[in-house]
Chains A and B, each alone.
Chain A
């Protein structure tokens, strides 16, 4: 297979993958974020404590997470038809993708929100803030770096799931790799596609990490990934010195 032919096949498949992941990702964010928030708020001791609702949501999320994706794709075909008017093509694949990713993302959101110090919520309550203000002014902004990491992880998981979309004729890079590389023994082409997927995933991860790190630089939040970046630690040192100087100022002032 020539390089030109490969490109001819890869471009549309790339767009299909990005289309599926983009749309499913957006739907996941829009539905998964409130779902994760509700999981936290309705829990025992939460701001909207409601044990019944919490149980139901928990069960839905757990069931959603335990169904294998390949089965999910087939199982939701009727539902897909209702939504997109078709049960074939990459558009059709967005529905099972979103359904598969929503519970996954909701759990990540839940974990991120639980990391927010209960003392902050207490402080907001003491200021006379209601539930809405506590969510908008503390829960979401304080967990933003973790939420960005959760989005990154979810998008990458979606790219992984999207390779199975071929089952409903969803196309995309995974489908291409299976059809040409595996079924027609175009091994070289398969590796080119795998390389492209690796590049896409790496770029996404880097962008996600960069954003999360920029957002958390101000606070004392440290991404676990920062352990692998010694350069960053060296940069942080001068700041520590500055803080000490400031303390001396405070002591000498009346």
Chain B
């Protein structure tokens, strides 16, 4: 649904070049919620702003719903007609809502429809429908100044949906909200994704957001996408940074040569088997549980457990093989530097 190829953006400020995007290839499938994480300055905002060409990439292409936007005419300040029409099919929500204070909630939602050129009657009907969808039907006549942050963002979402977009872009839409409100807004995005088949590309710096609503995720660092994929695949990959951040099990003590530390990840039905006690019984070993967490990610139950077995890695080849046989994913941690070996 959204594809970027070799997307590069260089900012030129006071003679100094800043490489904000460094040949980014992103692929967001139709109907999925795709999250982009990364530290401040990683280029996340630049990436999402390049998707609807609010920012002109220096090179590379952006294709949304089969239309190559980068091929359409226009400068950074002024978009050509075709690009403006394409943008009407891409909704965008903002961290600071960006609602017009001079207009009521209803009129704010009608704004994109006025730009499309819909007549008054249809605008009213559509806006009422959308406000109902986001649960703000009773606030139609209020002004943004009279709403709470969460309500403002709901208006922002209703407005973004006015043009019946297939794609919704969201740059830190919940960063200005408290945890409770964040959850309700994320739930709304998830519902819209499922009810309307909306493809959502969202930017966040909170791993919790990825955990609760995303199907796929990408990690950015220094203008590059260093990792991306479906969460279920990333979790099955012992080397995934995203998976590790989704499941922070904390630090473990300094290495002892006669100990083996394993990280066991299970998805779906796997935890139904009492594998720890089975392992202990079958091989007569004492298992020390160092940490464990169970979460629902992308709608699936996922757990991760860190255990310690007596003896070195070579002593434990057989028990590890047994665990893998049970359909569990087992990573042996290298105690000296804390990464999966």
Closest Cβ of chain A to B84, distance in Å, is 4
Residue of B nearest to A140 (CB): B102
Q: B92–A123 contact, CB under 8 A? A: yes
What bracket does the count of chain B residues touching chain A fall in?
A: 35 or more
List of B residues within 8 angstroms of A144 by Cβ: 102
Q: B98–A123 contact, CB under 8 A? A: yes
Q: A125–B184 contact, CB under 8 A? A: no
- Which of A88-96, A103-111, A127-135 touches B? A127-135
Q: B88–A138 contact, CB under 8 A? A: no
Q: Which residues of chain B in 282-301 are interfacial with respect to chain A, using CB atoms and an 8 Å cutoff?
A: none
Our pick among B52, B84, B114 for the contact of A130 (Cβ within 8 Å) is B84
B280 at the interface (CB under 8 A from A): no
Q: A243–B146 contact, CB under 8 A? A: yes
Docked complex Cα distance between A136 and B47 (Å): 29
List of A residues within 8 angstroms of B54 by Cβ: 122, 125-126
Closest Cβ of chain A to B276, distance in Å, is 38
B197 at the interface (CB under 8 A from A): no
B101 at the interface (CB under 8 A from A): yes
Return the CB mask of A216-240 against B: 1 if under 8 Å, else 0. Answer: 0011110000000000000000010
List of B residues within 8 angstroms of A138 by Cβ: 100
Assuming the contacts A119-B96, A130-B84, A218-B102, asked whether A247 and B148 have C-beta atoms less than 8 A apart, the reply is yes
Nearest 9 CB-CB pairs, A to B? A219-B101, A128-B87, A128-B88, A123-B98, A218-B143, A128-B84, A119-B98, A126-B92, A220-B145
Q: A219–B92 contact, CB under 8 A? A: no
Our pick among A119, A127, A218 for the contact of B145 (Cβ within 8 Å) is A218
B77 at the interface (CB under 8 A from A): yes
Residue of B nearest to A41 (CB): B77
On chain A, the number of residues with a Cβ less than 8 Å from chain B's Cβ atoms is 37
B150 at the interface (CB under 8 A from A): yes
Offer 23 A-B interface pairs, CB within 8 angstroms, sorted by A.
A117-B98, A120-B100, A123-B98, A125-B54, A126-B52, A126-B92, A127-B159, A128-B88, A130-B78, A133-B114, A138-B100, A141-B102, A141-B103, A219-B101, A219-B144, A220-B101, A220-B145, A221-B101, A243-B147, A247-B150, A250-B151, A250-B181, A251-B181
Q: B101–A119 contact, CB under 8 A? A: no
Instruction: Determine the main DSSP class of A at the interface with B.
Output: helix
Our pick among B52, B85, B94 for the contact of A119 (Cβ within 8 Å) is B94
Q: A250–B94 contact, CB under 8 A? A: no
Docked complex Cα distance between A122 and B163 (Å): 17
A142 at the interface (CB under 8 A from B): yes
Given contacts A127-B115, A137-B111, 16 further A-B contacts (CB under 8 A): A117-B98, A120-B98, A122-B54, A122-B98, A124-B111, A125-B54, A126-B52, A129-B84, A130-B78, A137-B115, A142-B100, A215-B102, A219-B101, A239-B146, A246-B151, A251-B184
- Which of A25-33, A42-50, A180-188, A189-197 touches B? A42-50
